Amino acid sequence: MKIEETTDIDICRTLRRMVFINEQGIAEADEWDDLDIQAVHLLAWQGSRPVGTARILLSGDIGKIGRVCVLQDARGTGLGVGLIRVAVDKLRDCPGITQAKLSSQVHAIGFYEKLGFTVIGQEYDDAGIPHRDMILEL
């Protein structure tokens, strides 16, 4: 397993298309935005095959981790945990960033809680899927 920062947004978008659009049925209009060009992108590899991605956006003292996905056949291998840990480490290295925030699909809350995140706010709908915001103090 290898996780690295990448500037190849096309690979990240291909993975997101496979997971969010093809597998979860999210509309393309809900998945694509203009934030990719300003985000830091992480790419997870299984051997020579890209299998997961996440992006990081900075706003004030908050680092937002988003668009986290791992291909179905690579889930349960620790890649998702690795992506979140690398993202949090990158945020800890950013001057002035005091909090990591993410929007979790409700079914994944336990996954993020094991990594130290805490649920805040009410449940809401994002692209037809129930979500809750979560934070981690850095």
pLDDT tens-digit series, residues 72-128: 999 999 999 999 999 999 999 999 999 999 999 999 999 999 999 999 999 999 988
**Tokens standing for 43?**
């790419």
pLDDT of residue 122: 97
Q: pLDDT tens across 54-71, in order?
A: 999 999 999 999 999 999
Note the pTM of the prediction, 2 decimals. Answer: 0.94
Alpha carbon distance 60, 13 (integer Å): 26
Domains parsed from the chain with CATH numbers: 2-137 (3.40.630.30)
Which of 1 and 87 is assigned the larger pLDDT?
A: 87
**Tokens standing for 99?**
């909090």
User: What's the pLDDT band for 49 if we cut at 50, 70, 90?
Assistant: very high
Alpha carbon distance 134, 72 (integer Å): 23
Measured CA distances, 56 to 6, 23, 69, 73, 122 (Å): 12, 23, 13, 24, 23
pLDDT of residue 1: 87
